[in-house]
Structure 1
């Protein structure tokens, strides 16, 4: 099987100290979600399997993330990358759309997936447009281990940055991720935007670190810094 950095990263999440926190989310209304490496990899695997087995996603196809900087958006990006998809972060056309606003989706897609953002959501609240897939209701039925049906192409594009720069799958860490110190417990504010959050998270995880992601309405207090042991850069 061809290896790409995203596959190596998810393998690292489930090996070594896989029970240590890798992603902690602080959302509105006192919401706090903590994912260990093993749990994060589990979410990513289930999402990749949903894409591959239910939506017939294949390497080289395009996945648009019309999502805010949120822990579920990071799961979706990793899932697409380890499958060999190109992650689209702007309004460009794509094969698949993952969105928290399916009623406002534009363009033609092979599939539209509604992503409910509340951590405990078991299904989308309210009505969905015809043909729209409910991520919360469907993802849990998919396998905990991802086995790709086709090898990803390391020389295919993984992401197009906001500066218009193409980054290939093989260069995802060296050409897109922001370098961070080994083992950093990194704070990343969601209001930095999804691209910046993804780049910083990849850089931290690549060095065995972890990420504390905070919603724009959540202030970074001294207590939060101390409680989460935020350190490094």
Structure 2
């Protein structure tokens, strides 16, 4: 049985292939816009990195130690597409994905360092021994994802900050926030990664799109009008 995250990626890839699905406003005038097809390509590349390079499999756990950011949403979607669990609180996981890599691997099978600047082609500076440079490595992976193993809908998809767990089969019902059909949703990054993931899932499943804004970005009337933001 296909899990909701896989069905969502199919919808974004086919039903909204050319229209914007995720727009990021970051510091220093960063603006990144991903159509459904481009969003799916990033998620596929990240899923392939996990599966092919790191031997990730359904049921394994990924600690997402990241702020709310467009790359963080990519990682959430890739984790779920593989049938893995996104750990948003605590350190007990198979993999650590972070923008502040520790000096040693600890108990993780792998540490993936994520450089947040939009144009980063590699991690700035030296990485700890054994850490994987996401910006550099992800580009070599394929744009299409084919799972090696079928994920189980009854396994955990999210371990949230309140300790609450959500299963893959309930991801779009119990975890995703409810939003109106076709919403162009403003998601403040200051609300944190869990809120960004839940709100983005809710917007996408209703056929909408997301504008994710860094806390340093001034949300002017001009910006809101330009992005046609009309719901929350």
For residues 49-106 of structure 1, what are the alpha-carbon distances to aligned partners after superposition, in whole Å with 9 as ceiling and x for unaligned? 0000000000000000011000000000000001010000112310001110113677
- In the aligned structure 1, how far is the partner of 2:159 from the partner of 2:101? 23
- In the aligned structure 2, how far is the partner of 1:107 from the partner of 1:172? 30
Is contact 1:103–1:128 with CA below 8 Å preserved after alignment? no
- In the aligned structure 2, how far is the partner of 1:116 from the partner of 1:227? 28
Task: Identify unmatched segments of 5+ residues in structure 2.
Answer: none
- In the aligned structure 1, how far is the partner of 2:104 from the partner of 2:26? 24
- In the aligned structure 1, how far is the partner of 2:103 from the partner of 2:203? 33
TM-score (norm 1): 0.97
Helix, strand or coil at the partner of 1:103: coil
**CA RMSD, 1 decimal:** 1.1
- In the aligned structure 2, how far is the partner of 1:38 from the partner of 1:105? 36
Task: State the match for 1:183 in structure 2.
Answer: 182
- In the aligned structure 1, how far is the partner of 2:58 from the partner of 2:143? 20
Runs of 4+ in 1 over 4 A off after TM superposition: none
Within a 5 Å distance, the mapping from 1:61-80 to structure 2 comes to 61-80=60-79
Task: State the match for 1:14 in structure 2.
Answer: 13
- In the aligned structure 2, how far is the partner of 1:62 from the partner of 1:52? 13
- In the aligned structure 1, how far is the partner of 2:101 from the partner of 2:189? 21
Within a 5 Å distance, the mapping from 1:211-222 to structure 2 comes to 211-222=210-221
Helix, strand or coil at the partner of 2:204: helix
Task: Identify unmatched segments of 5+ residues in structure 1.
Answer: none
Aligned residues: 232
Task: State the match for 2:88 in structure 1.
Answer: 89
- In the aligned structure 2, how far is the partner of 1:12 from the partner of 1:105? 39
- In the aligned structure 2, how far is the partner of 1:231 from the partner of 1:105? 45
Is contact 2:155–2:168 with CA below 8 Å preserved after alignment? yes
- In the aligned structure 2, how far is the partner of 1:166 from the partner of 1:79? 18
- In the aligned structure 2, how far is the partner of 1:77 from the partner of 1:104? 24
- In the aligned structure 1, how far is the partner of 2:55 from the partner of 2:46? 12
TM-score (norm 2): 0.98
Task: State the match for 1:4 in structure 2.
Answer: 3
Is contact 2:89–2:163 with CA below 8 Å preserved after alignment? no
Within a 5 Å distance, the mapping from 1:1-233 to structure 2 comes to 2-103=1-102, 107-233=106-232
